Every structure is written in C-alpha cells, then in structure tokens.
Structure 1
C-alpha cells in the first residue's frame, strides 16, 4: 500500500501540470533508475544463501516441470513416436 500513495500523487500532479511544466527528465530518471538497481543489488548481496541447495532445488523443479509437460503432451496429444 505504501507504493500506491506516491504513485497516485505523481499521477495527480502530472495531470494537473500537464500543460504548464515542460521539463526534460531523461537524465534524472536514468540516474534514479541506476541508483535503484545499484541499491537492489546491494540488498540482494546481503542475503546469505546456500547455493548448492538452491541449485539442486531449481534443477529438480526444472526436470519435474519438463517431465510433467512431456507426460501431458503424450497423454493429450497421442502416442510417443
């Protein structure tokens, strides 16, 4: 909910000032986006994970997803050639 209040305030301000203010915001928006990505990376780097367990879980999930898709393709589509 905290993200919607500034978002709606920005939409209202943009609507009210749409004809009055004409400022090029390309560079400030790019800088803000780069800072946001940087700080997201900093926060992600703080999280400690066990990479081996995560890899095994991801691999298991991927294999089971592929096998399930193949099973239903054969079941619904006919026979395996």
Structure 2
C-alpha cells in the first residue's frame, strides 16, 4: 500500500504537467536513483550469507541449466 500512494500521486502530477511547460527532471531523477541504489546496497550488506556455498550452488545450478538446455536441443533438433 505504501508504494501505490506515491505512484498514483506521480501519475496525477505528470498528468497535470502534460499540458504545461515540462520541467527538466533529469538531474533530480538521477540523484534519487543513485540514492536508491546506495540504500539497496546498504540493505544488501546487512544480510549474512555464506559466500562460498552460494558461489558453489550458483555454479552447479548454471552448469545443470546449460547441460539441460544442450540435452533438450539435441533431443528436439
């Protein structure tokens, strides 16, 4: 619910500005996106994970996915 209120407000604000002179929002948009990415990194950094196990599991998953795709391509093709 917290996401929809600013979203709807932004849509209404954009609709109201449609007919008038459009402000240049390039710099504020870039600044807000950088701040959002920064805080996403902060939240991600708070999570404790076993990096070696995650790397191993991801590698095994990727290799099995590739092998399955190759096998299916051989069967179908």
Rounded to whole Å, the distance in 2 between the matches of 1:2 and 1:21 is 30
Larger radius of gyration: 1
Deviation at 1:21, TM superposition (A): 4.9
5+ long unaligned stretches in structure 1? none
Rounded to whole Å, the distance in 2 between the matches of 1:60 and 1:50 is 16
Query: Runs (4+) of structure 1 moved beyond 4 Å?
Result: none
The alignment partner of 1:20 has SS state of coil
TM-score, reference length from structure 1: 0.82
5+ long unaligned stretches in structure 2? none
TM-score, reference length from structure 2: 0.85
Rounded to whole Å, the distance in 2 between the matches of 1:73 and 1:47 is 39
Task: Name the counterpart of 1:40.
Answer: 40
